[in-house]
């Protein structure tokens, strides 16, 4: 059963559906980050996403769907592993890469013969998708390489009047982009870590999951620098944090410390960005805090790298990319 939505949301959904059917773009809340949505079957509408984001044309978009049955409309093959993962984690923050049907517009897939699919859990996104009965291409609603938006206000900051409508679904509960798992080759591979860990995927499939793209595979969009604020970001292990902060303050820089615990020593040029106490809280807050650093005119953010597996892996991935130190090189 779909959740009952307030009447005002129903009116917004009707307006969003009408705009999307006309080939316009709409800001869409999902549980991961806000998306910039277009009808995935309309090549001109999808093209408008690339233009507004200033995103290179070979970076494929994720197609969001509202029902399991729609998998067949996009994927040429739905292997048992895909069904098992969909049953376990959808709706939710997991994207699957599958062989694309020949009729999938190649503007959506960045020219690839594979397509990335996700069923989001946010009630507003799900209600819109089910009302439309069509797939929506919806990358994060930010300009290329910038920090992803996690509130409707962030989306308006990015695009202002260029977007006719931003649906407001509150703050994203997950806060970072979905886990992407490639099921289009023999071995499942995590192309991008997220809130659903490689270990959870391996558990569900009862088989090993690789953590990186196969050698020679194109991994478009997985760039060393991504998700960056204007401020410089530097990552530090917990033990090195205080020294790095002290060094930047000594150099006269307006500095932010992004960490679970407050700085040991206050300083007039130092702000504390309270990262959160649990990995989930840290994911949820991360992008809002990076935006706050920019709003405060901070020059350098020293970010504490969380230790451990699971969600900490996804956090390290995003922090290292914000610092321009991602482990997968630019393609």
What's the CA dihedral at 184, 140, 17, 196 to 10 degrees? Answer: 50
- Nearest-approach distance from CB 139 to Mg ion, in angstroms: 5
Closest by CA to 138, choosing from 148, 281, 147, is: 148
User: Which residue's CB atom is positioned nearest to Mg ion?
Assistant: 140
Residue with Cβ nearer ligand AMP (242 or 328): 328
Closest by CA to 311, choosing from 199, 187, 168, 206, is: 199
Instruction: Check residue 144 for interaction with ligand AMP (CB under 6 A).
Output: no
114 binds, among ligand AMP, Mg ion, none (CB under 5 to 8 A by kind): ligand AMP
Instruction: Check residue 43 for interaction with ligand AMP (CB under 6 A).
Output: no
Residues of this chain, 186-215, that bind ligand AMP according to CB under 6 A: 191
Residues of this chain, 212-271, that bind ligand AMP according to CB under 6 A: 220-222
User: How many chain residues bind ligand AMP (CB under 6 A)?
Assistant: 18
222 binds, among Mg ion, ligand AMP, none (CB under 5 to 8 A by kind): ligand AMP
Instruction: Check residue 140 for interaction with Mg ion (CB under 5 A).
Output: yes
By CB under 6 A, which span of 2-10, 113-121, 249-257, 264-272 interacts with ligand AMP?
A: 113-121
Residue with Cβ nearer Mg ion (59 or 156): 59
Interface residues with ligand AMP (CB under 6 A)?
59-62, 97, 109, 112, 114-116, 139-140, 177, 180, 191, 220-222
């Amino acid at each position: 059963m779909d959740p009952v939505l307030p009447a005002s949301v129903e009116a917004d959904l009707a307006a969003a559906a009408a705009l999307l059917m006309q080939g316009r773009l709409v800001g869409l809340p999902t549980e991961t980050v806000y998306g910039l949505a277009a009808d995935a079957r309309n090549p001109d509408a999808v093209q408008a996403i690339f233009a507004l984001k200033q995103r290179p044309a070979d970076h494929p978009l994720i197609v969001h769907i509202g029902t399991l049955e729609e998998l067949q409309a996009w994927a040429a093959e739905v292997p048992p592993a895909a069904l098992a993962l969909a049953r376990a984690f959808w709706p939710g923050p997991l994207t699957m890469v599958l062989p694309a049907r020949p009729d999938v517009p190649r503007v959506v897939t960045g020219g690839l013969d594979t397509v990335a699919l996700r069923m989001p859990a946010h009630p507003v996104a799900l209600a819109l998708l089910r009302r439309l009965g069509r797939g929506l291409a919806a990358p994060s609603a930010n300009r290329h390489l910038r920090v992803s938006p996690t509130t409707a206000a962030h989306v308006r900051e990015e695009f202002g009047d260029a977007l006719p409508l931003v649906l407001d679904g509150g703050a994203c509960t997950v806060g970072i982009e979905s886990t992407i798992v490639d099921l289009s080759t023999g071995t499942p591979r995590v192309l991008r870590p997220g809130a659903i860990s490689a270990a959870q995927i391996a558990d569900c499939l009862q088989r090993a999951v690789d953590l990186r793209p196969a050698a020679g595979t194109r991994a478009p969009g997985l760039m060393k620098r991504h998700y960056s604020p204007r401020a410089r970001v530097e990552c530090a292990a917990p033990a090195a944090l205080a020294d790095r902060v002290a060094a930047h303050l000594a150099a006269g820089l307006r500095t932010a410390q992004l960490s679970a615990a407050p700085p040991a020593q206050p300083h007039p040029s130092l702000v504390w960005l309270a990262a959160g106490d649990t990995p989930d809280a840290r994911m949820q807050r991360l992008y809002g805090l990076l935006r706050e650093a920019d709003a405060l005119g901070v020059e350098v953010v020293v970010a504490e790298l969380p230790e451990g597996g699971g969600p900490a892996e996804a956090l390290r991935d995003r922090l290292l990319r914000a610092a321009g130190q991602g482990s997968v090189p630019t393609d």
